[in-house]
């Protein structure tokens, strides 16, 4: 699924906030990485963030873990 840069920023930002608030990680974090934004970007690149995007009235579902 191709996301626009705005959708990508929103998805990563929302997931980073969840991680910062104590949500469990969907990946094993690499050593030394503790920044929620970097962790969210790693999850996004692996396609693990379960999220639904609404685009022009259509729902686009992301991967569900």
In tens, the pLDDT along 10-62 reads 999 999 999 999 999 999 999 999 999 999 999 999 999 988 888 887 877 77
The model's pTM is: 0.84
Measured CA to CA in angstroms, residue 57 lies from 12, 16, 52 at distances of 22, 26, 12
- Tell me the domain boundaries of the chain: 5-61
What class, spelled out in words, does domain 5-61 have in CATH?
A: alpha beta
């Amino acid at each position: 699924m191709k996301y626009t840069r705005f959708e990508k920023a929103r998805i990563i930002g929302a997931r980073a906030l969840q991680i910062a608030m104590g949500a469990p990680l969907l990946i094993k974090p690499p050593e030394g990485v503790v920044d929620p934004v970097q962790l969210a970007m790693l999850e996004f690149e692996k396609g693990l963030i379960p999220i639904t995007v609404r685009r022009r009235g259509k729902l686009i579902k992301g991967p569900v873990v």
